[in-house]
Amino acid sequence: MQKLNKNWFFENHADFEYKRFVLLAYLQSVNKAFNQTKLYPALSDLVEHYRNLIAFKKQKDELYDTFPEYIDKIDLTNFKLHFNKVISNDELMNHLDEVIAFSLPEIQKHIEEGKDIHDFIEQEILLEPVGIIPIYKHEGYLLLRSNEIKVYEYKLGLFMHRDDEYKSLSTQFIKSYKIGFINTFENIKIDLIKQHRKLPNPATFSIQTNYEYPVEYTVLPIAKRLLLKQIA
């Protein structure tokens, strides 16, 4: 998928038509990914770009509002005073306003499309515990069934963002098992316990879907979000 720089909307001071072309080319690559049901990183990138534009617009407006005004004209007929800012929007600021006004609804439209795909696939995903789930669930295994059964080790962690603390879930691929009569989720869990003694009774969850979706780009990211809700 084509990438878009965080500073795309103001770097190089290009004109509106060029920025419009850059954004539409990027959104075309997003559409291609969505058509292949590849949700990530396209959807998370869209949300980040949308938030960056909103944050920039807010800071710009707040900065503009802090500058004082001076009396520009006195209307004696209507008894009104007309004010102007000490500083006014220059050509660059007007250009950015135009770019942002065009970009926000376009990006939002694609975010909504991605969310619709996400919600549909999320409803198709079945997350279930394998065996007895222990009290300690901050690390364990995720068994994802596609054309084979992929085993991921997961860990619950914390990260800081703008002075706020959030929970996150990281995964690491361990191994794969062929789908067969012997390799049930329960038997795989027993095999993992034998091979990895650090977790004598690991929290283990299985993920299954009714349809084939891209694992790394769609199923695993959604499964991680579902699992995070389950254990956090």
For 197-222, how does the pLDDT look when each residue is reduced to its tens digit (9 = 90+)?
Answer: 888 889 999 999 988 899 999 999 99
Q: Residue 64 in contact with residue 94, Cβ under 8 Å?
A: no
- Using the structure block, give the residue that is written with the tokens 């800071």: 59
> β-strand 149-161 against 203-209: which pairing, if any?
unpaired
Q: What is the pLDDT of residue 48?
A: 94
CA-nearest of 207, 179, 174 to 193 is 174
Q: Using 70 as the pLDDT threshold, list the residues of the chain that sit under it.
A: 13-14, 63-90, 92, 159-166
The one-letter amino acid code at 206 reads S
d(CA 226, CA 106): 28
Q: What is the pLDDT of residue 68?
A: 57
For 8-26, how does the pLDDT look when each residue is reduced to its tens digit (9 = 90+)?
Answer: 887 776 688 889 999 999 9
Q: What is the pLDDT of residue 79?
A: 43
Q: What is the pLDDT of residue 71?
A: 45
What does the CA dihedral 52, 57, 59, 65 come to, rounded to 10 degrees? 180
Radius of gyration for the alpha carbons in the chain, expressed in angstroms and rounded:
25
Half-sphere CA count of 165, side-chain side, radius 13 A: 2
Backbone angles phi, psi at 69, to 5 degrees: -115, 160
CA distances (Å), 129 to each of 141, 143, 206, 208, in order? 10, 10, 6, 12
Q: What is the pLDDT of residue 90?
A: 64
- Which sequence spans correspond to the domains of the chain? 11-123, 130-231
Q: What is the pLDDT of residue 58?
A: 85
Q: How far is CA 213 from the centre of its chain?
A: 18
| pTM beyond cutoff 0.85 | no
